Structures are given as C-alpha cells and as structure tokens.
Amino acid sequence: MQLGVVAVERSGRPPVPVISMRQKLLFVDDSELVRDLVSIMFERAGYDVLLAGNGIEGLAQIAAHEDVVAVITDVNMPGMGGIEFLEQLRTRGLELPLFVLSTEAEKSMVARAKNIGVQAWFLKPPNPLNMLTVLRDTLSRAS
C-alpha cells in the first residue's frame, strides 16, 4: 500500500494520511513508448504502475516496493532480458503472478517462461481488454 497525504483543510488542521488501496504492478520494457502506453492502460483500469527499462531496473523496483502484486515484462532488453529477470525473481523466492508482453513467440522461449511459472504470454501490440481480463482473473484467483 502507498501512503499519501491530502492537502491541509481550510480549518488549519494538519494533513490526514490516506492509504491507497490500488494494486501495484511492475511493467518492464526497454521501449519508453510501450512503457508509457501500457502504464496508461493499467492506470486507467485502476492500478498503480511501476516502470523499469530492463531486468536490472526491474529487480531494483521489486527490492524497493514489496507491495507489487504482479510483473509484466518484455523479453529482449539490454542489460538483463525478461526471461533472466523472471528467473531471478523466482530464485529470490518471489511467487508473484508473472506475465510476458513481447513481439517474440519462439516455442523454446515460451516453454522456458512456462517452466518459470509465467501465467500468460501476450503478443505486441497489446490487446488491452485481453490483458486486463487475464490480469484481473489471475489476481482474483491469487487472493
């Protein structure tokens, strides 16, 4: 959960802390345009979205935000690709729902992702309704 502060009321009373009940997602993609588009889609659907440009940045985001409920990643990225990133998450004992959004769909890569526990593999360009439906269904089963 995220702690925020509302503005001071006109009465001069101190700010009141508020807690956001929005679920937090991590989206990892090396394309800034894709990150922007996907984050807008999920934010409009009521999620908070953290962004990272590769797996290394994704690991840092996960370390800084323990309240992430799901991860969506691209596959081919500089530094650390998506599959290696997902393997690192599992090695660290994180049992979050995992998803892939990529232009890639090579059978061996999809099989490797499935072995890691990836819930769904989405092809770019994303179908927003499909992604949101699968994400919501997965999160509702996980809770």
Does 16 fall in a domain? no
Does 8 fall in a domain? no
Assign 142 a pLDDT band (cuts: 50, 70, 90).
confident
Burial (0-12, 13-18, 19+ Cβ within 10 Å), 71: buried
pTM: 0.85
pLDDT in tens, 66-85: 999 999 999 999 999 999 99
Does 17 fall in a domain? no
- How many structural domains comprise the chain? 1
- Would you state the pLDDT for residue 9? 44
**CATH number of the domain encompassing residue 83:** 3.40.50.2300
Does 115 fall in a domain? yes
Does 13 fall in a domain? no
pLDDT in tens, 36-57: 999 999 999 999 999 999 999 9
Range of the domain at 119: 22-138
